[in-house]
Structure formats: C-alpha cells, structure tokens
Amino acid sequence: MQNDTVILAKGAGTALFGKIFGRALQLGVQILLARLLGPAQFGLYVLGLTVFQVGQQIGVIGLDNGVIHFGGIALHQNEDKDELSSVIRVTELLSLGSAALLGLVVYVLAPWFALNIIHQADLVGTLRGFSLALVFAIGLKINSAVSRISRKMFFSVFSEDIFPYLVSLVLILLFFYSAKVSVSSAVIAIIVGFGTSFLLILFFLQKLFVLPPYVISMQLAIKLLSFSLPMFFAVVFVYLLYGATNFLIGFFLSSQDVGIYQAASQISTVPVIILVAFNAIFTPMINKFNQESRRPQLNELYKISTKWGLYISLPLFLTVVIMPGRVLGVLYGRVYMDGNWALVILMIAQLINTGTGAVGYLLVMNNHQKRWLVLVAVAFFIGIVLNIVLIPYWGIIGAACANACAVVVMYLPALLQVRSLLRLWPYDRRYWKGLISAAISAVVVLLISNLFPMEPVSQIVLALGSATGTFLLSLWLLKLEPEDWQVLELVTKKNSMTDKSNF
C-alpha cells in the first residue's frame, strides 16, 4: 500500500504541476486575447473555441479510456508485447480516422452553422481554422492517453497540457508586437501549438514503448470500440452541454455575455485541475488493482486521492467565492466583473465534482460505462431544459444555475452507484480535520477581504497565500495522518516534473 501511495502521489505531483502550469498558460492565452480583442471579438473567438473543445472530446470517441483499459490489462498479463502493440496500433488507426472525419465535417458545415445557427458570417473562417487544429488535438489527446499506460506522467503532461499553450502564447505575443493580433491570428497560434504538440507526443511514444511491427486485430478493434463508445456518448453529452450553454447565451443575449460567462466558467474549472491530476495517475492504477483483486487497497487509494483533491483545491475555492468580482476584474478586466455571481455558482458546482473523486472512471474501468452514460445523459437533458428556461429571465446567472444542477445530477448519483456496485466510498472520519481547517481559512479570507483595503491584485494574492498557509497549519495542528504526510511530501516535491522515474 505504501508503494501504491508513492506511485499515486508522485504521478499526481507531476500531473498537478503540469496541469496547473498548463491551465495558467491556457488562461494566459484567453486573458490576453480578451484584453486585446475586446468582449465582442473575444466572444467570436470563444464560439469557435467552443466548437474546437467540444469536437476534441467527441473526436476521441472514448479511445483515451479504452486504450488505458485494454492496454493496462495487456501490460499486466502479458510479458510479450504483441498484445500491447496491437492495442496501441489499433487505437492509433482508429484515432487517425476519427480525427480526419470530424475535421472534415467541421470544415464543410462551418458556413451553415455560422450563418443559420449563430447568424454571424465572421464565424465561418474561425471555424474552418479550428477544424485543422481539431485534427491535431484529437491525435494528441489519444496518444497522450497511450503514454499514461506506462504510469510515467511527464510525457503526457508536457505534450498535452503545457506545450500547445506555450507555443500559442508565444505566437500571440509575436502577433501583438507586429500589430497583427486578430481572431484569425489567434486561431493560427492554436493550429501551430497543437500541431507541434502532436508531433512531440509521437516522438515521446517512441521513447516509452519499443513495440513489434504493426499487429492489427479486427476483433480487438471491435472490443475497443464497444468499450469506448459509451464513454464517447457520455463525453458528447458533457461537452454538448458546455457548448450549448455558450450558444444559448449567444442566441438569447449577446456575444459580450458569452465572453463574460466564458471568463467565469474558465476560472470555475481551475480547482478541478487538482482532481484531473489525481485521476490521470489513479485511472491506470484501477486496472492494476482489479487484476490483482485488491479492492480494499483500491478503496483506500480512492479515499486518499479524493481527500487530497479537495484539500489542495479548497484555499483557491474559498478565495474565489469570497471575492469573485475582484478575481474577474484582475484577470479579465472590469467589464467582466458582471459575471461574479455566475462564478460563485459554478465554483460551488465544481467543488461537488471534486468532492466525489474519480467516480466516473471507477464505473467505467469496472465495466459499468453504460450506467455512467445514463447518468450523464439525464444530466445533459436537465441542463439543456434549465438553460432554455432560465437564460431569458436570469441571464448568465440562469446559465450557471442550469449547469450547476447538471453537475449535481451527474456526480452525486454516480457516487451512490460506486458505493452500491463496487463497495467503494471516499469518506471517513478523517475528513473532520479538513472541514475545521477550511472553516478557519474562510474566516481569514473574509477578514482580509473586508478589513485590509488594498490593490485588488495584492489583496487576492494575500488572501490566497493566507488561506493556503492557514489551511495547512490547521491540518498540522490537528495532526495529519501518516499517509497524508507521504502524499504532501511527494505531491509538492520540487523535482516532480524532472524526477528520473518519470523518464
């Protein structure tokens, strides 16, 4: 169990650093564009970006989870590499076909969608540019999942989370200094960023796996698709809800409201990065525990990953919820401060998501992917109906409420399913220490927010630093559990991205 905790913590540390840095770059790109383009042009870019992000998830067709499931089994059960090679090669061929097909569909349908659905002719070129980026992004995401079979997180994190946005940010800055910043130049930056990252992950895979020549099995392809397609439809529902929300705001309100809601939505997902970081290493480990029939150890690791996902995200959550307008104003500009209540609602919803841990992956990796699909589908339809009803009356606050309800409907029943079907539960008596520490941290942030008038940037930095320090100090005074010390030490290890075990 100690070795398993080490693998979880080190992998999560690498993924956490990479995803936080990558999300900072991603936010940096969007904040820079929001300021340079203005709300109207930024809203146009966001509409194209939404199609890109939804298409990226759809084009993967669940193969990122399928290759981890079957690849993990092949790696655990077989010393020869023929079966692992077959899993990887079949996945690569399926991903190539899916990426090319979806990119072509977006390119061809761009005029119809822009003119007849959104009623903005300027969107045509933006969508067609994103269609090319989409081909690279789908290949990158699937091959990044292939690299995680090895449980060495550096390759996946650097190529998928950091490099594309780093390249894009550099190019946007170059366009800015040459006075050529526009929606078109922003799309070009995305194309180049994801194109170079796709080539990079292919290079990394050559370092990770020395595989026999192509071993193609149609039977395996059918099994892989049968497993992956329910996840594909689940992801489609999630991202269609995300995309439909932006489009419905654009339909009922304006592109400026789309930009403001996008700013709030982007910030609200930052705490989920911690959950994603733990899930990135925890998901491949689920197969290992299942193959070795180690359910008690899996349950303990589920508790640890969920607890520390919450612990690490709570200081940021408290800071944003207590001073949402100031956070939006500092990051995006004063015009975006109207999204403060939408941000609070979305942050609460994502805290519920983080607090349930890897429920979706636990269901999927234990062959209950159809149950997960049903939950996601129900949440999708509830979210769409509530968006249509609430947006005309409450604006972007209505959109936030609709999506928060969808998150609750999706994750809380999934948590109960994990308990009843798998006998796994992430909570125990140890959580009371975190609750007390969070309450103390909330008081500190409230005091700083109300009693220390200063520049917003300084106030936010002071509040976040104080919340983090108070939370960790309170946990220490309440006496951390032995495994907590181990996780804290390994997750915060300075050389987590360059540890030799990652290579």
Read off the pTM: 0.72
Q: Flag whether 452 is in a domain.
A: no
Residues 271-277 have a mean pLDDT of 77
Residue 182 and residue 190 in contact, taking contact as beta carbons nearer than 8 Å: no
Instruction: For residue 441, tell me if it sits in a domain.
Output: no
Does 458 map to a domain? no
Residue with tokens 């003119």: 115
Mean pLDDT (whole number) for 184-199: 88
| HEC readout, 371-426 | HHHHHHHHHHHHHHHHHHHHHHHHCHHHHHHHHHHHHHHHHHHHHHHHHHHHCCCC
| Burial category of 178 from C-beta neighbours within 10 Å (exposed 0-12, middle 13-18, buried 19 and up) | exposed
CA pair distance 50, 172, nearest whole angstrom: 19
Distance (Å, whole) CA 470 – CA 127: 46
Six-digit token pair at 421? 């079907």
Phi, then psi, of 243 in degrees rounded to 5:
-70, -40
Cα gap 365→63, rounded to integer Å:
13
Q: How do residues 6-23 score in pLDDT, each as one tens digit?
A: 666 666 667 777 777 887
pLDDT-wise least confident of 45-54, 139-148, 414-423, 490-499: 490-499
- pLDDT confidence of 417, banded at 50, 70, 90? very high
Coil, helix or strand for 495? coil
Output the average pLDDT for the chain: 81
Give the tens place of pLDDT for each residue, 237-253. Answer: 877 787 788 888 888 88
- 398 within 8 A of 391, measured Cβ to Cβ: yes
Greater pLDDT, 269 or 492: 269
Query: Cα(148)–Cα(68) distance, rounded to whole angstroms?
Result: 7
Could you read off the pLDDT of 451-481 as tens digits, one per residue?
877 888 888 999 999 999 999 888 888 877 6
Please determine, for residue 450, whether its predicted confidence score (pLDDT) is greater than 90. Answer: no
* Residue 453 maps to a domain: no
Answer with the residue of higher pLDDT: 371 or 115: 371
Four-point Cα dihedral 183, 185, 191, 193, nearest 10: -110
- Looking at per-residue confidence, does 348 or 57 come out higher? 348
- What the block records as the tokens of 309 is 């996902």
User: In 10 A of CB 394, how many CB atoms?
Assistant: 15
When divided into structural domains, the chain yields a total of 1
The predicted structure's pLDDT at residue 10: 67
Mean pLDDT score, 221-231: 81
How distant, in Å, are the alpha carbons of 87, 443, 498 from that of 266? Answer: 35, 26, 28
Q: How confident is the model at residue 426 (pLDDT cuts 50, 70, 90)?
A: confident
**Residue 472 covered by a domain:** no
Q: What is the per-residue DSSP string for 432-479? A: HHHHHHHHHHHHHHHHHHHH----HHHHHHHHHHHHHHHHHHHHHHT-
| Residue range 385-398: mean pLDDT, rounded | 93
Q: Which domain holds residue 190?
A: 2-430+481-502
pLDDT tens per residue, range 101-151: 988 988 888 888 877 777 777 788 888 888 888 999 998 988 888 888 777
- Residue 330, phi-psi category: left (phi > 0), alpha (psi -120 to 50), beta (remainder): alpha
Alpha carbons 132 and 123: distance in angstroms, whole number: 15
Within a domain: 64: yes
Picking from 260, 250, 254, the residue whose alpha carbon sits closest to that of residue 334 is: 260
Q: Residue 480 belongs to what H/E stretch? A: none
Q: 486 or 95: which carries more pLDDT confidence?
A: 95
- Whether pLDDT at 503 is above 80: no
Q: Is the pLDDT of residue 502 over 50?
A: no
d(CA 330, CA 435): 29
**Quick check: 214 pLDDT over 60?**
no
Place of tokens 């650097």: 158
The predicted model gives 25-35 an average pLDDT of: 80
For 282, counting Cβ atoms within 10 Å of its Cβ (0-12 exposed, 13-18 middle, 19+ buried), the class is buried
Phi/psi-derived region of residue 210, left when phi > 0, alpha when psi is between -120 and 50, beta in every other case? beta
In a domain, 473, yes or no: no
How far is residue 324's CA from residue 337's CA, in Å, rounded to a whole number?
8
Number of residues in the chain: 503
Q: Is residue 323 part of a domain?
A: yes
Mean pLDDT, rounded, for 31-39: 78
